[in-house]
Amino acid sequence: MSLYRPVKIGSLELPGNLFLAPVAGYTDNAFRSICAQEGACFSFTELVSAEALYRNIERYGLSVPQTDSLSPSSSPLCDKKNKANQAANNLIRRGENEKRYAIQLFGAQSESIYKAASILSPLKPDALDINCGCPVPKVVKNGAGSAMMKDPSCIGKAVEAAVRASRESLGGIPVTVKIRSGWDSSSINYAQCAQTAVDAGAAMVTLHPRTRAQNYGGRSDWTHITDLVSRIKVPVTGSGDLYTPEDAQKMLKETGCAAIMFARGAMGNPFIFSQTRSLLETGAWQPAPFSARTAAVMRHLETLAACIGERTACLEMRKQFCAYTKGVPGGAALRKKAVHAETIEEYRRIIAG
């Protein structure tokens, strides 16, 4: 049986098991769209504050009743005078090539999760994901993200709230959860947290097997994924240290997880999805030529500019451009020029040399 295979998450059926993780500052709808075009089977928005979402619904485009009115061409949030609104809308709106996507929420209060999830119907997400793994201080200090793993009951309440909102307002789409191994090395409790989430109605658990204390340093412990697969009855998605197609193949083989989730390995490299599928199905893959990378850069930039405006998109694209050109011969010189680019045409000239 091929390691590339369909995945069923509650009522949601996916054709393959290669997912794009939520990465703050990178996985806006333009990048998710490109990853979907390159073979990502499922993608997740950047984490969104549940409380900020329901307290500022107009900022996220949710005051408009019809989904079609959220398109870049007609949404009032794509007016250049509303840059903050454009950016917020861009985070959670479905990308043009995304057939399946999930909106990821974070929040310490279950009532906030419920209120936020209840107003997402215009966006028609295919799943809701609850972030219980983010290690950054501004999330953790408010009791959200990986801080929830200190008290697994908080995870259960958040999932229950999301499931209730899904049933009442979203047609019963599945609720999933993303966790870490634990808060620190003395409190490895991923199994308890995962089971609590499943008991509360979670249809999938994603495990990044590092502790919060590790942040993104050290090595992730894939044996935790293997163990969790044996413990719970819903699909387990593995994350952590996936930078090449071979890494993905190894994780699927060694852990038995249902799917893998690329995070940093996909930044600037959306081709990793098609490359991994090729490896899993044929045993070989080919690197993306420089021309493919530059074409992806321009698609990404033009898609982003269509929603948030050319000037803002060009500024946002600088960090993405660094990721796209990492490891590319002459990349340093290109990056040095790109930090001053303010128009699409300037990016085009930089790439053309």
Q: Catalytic residues, which ones?
A: 134
Beta carbons of 239 and 261 less than 8 angstroms apart? yes
Beta carbons of 347 and 301 less than 8 angstroms apart? yes
Helix (H) / strand (E) element for 103: namely strand 101-106
- For 134-185, what is the HEC assignment? CCCHHHHCCCCHHHHHHCHHHHHHHHHHHHHHHHHHCCCCCEEEEEEEECCC
Helix (H) / strand (E) element for 248: namely helix 245-255
User: Residue 303 has which token pair?
Assistant: 């898609």
| 3-class SS of residue 107 | coil
Distance set, CA 339 to CA 76, 143, 259, 293, 334 (Å):
30, 36, 36, 18, 9
- The span from the CA of 103 to the CA of 139, in Å, is 17
| Pairing of the two strands 12-14 and 18-20 | unpaired
Helix, strand, coil share of the chain (percent; to 5) = 45, 15, 40
- The span from the CA of 131 to the CA of 146, in Å, is 8
Nearest 5°: phi and psi at 252? -60, -40
Beta carbons of 107 and 101 less than 8 angstroms apart? no
| 3-class SS of residue 206 | strand
Distance set, CA 238 to CA 195, 219, 259, 271 (Å):
16, 14, 6, 19
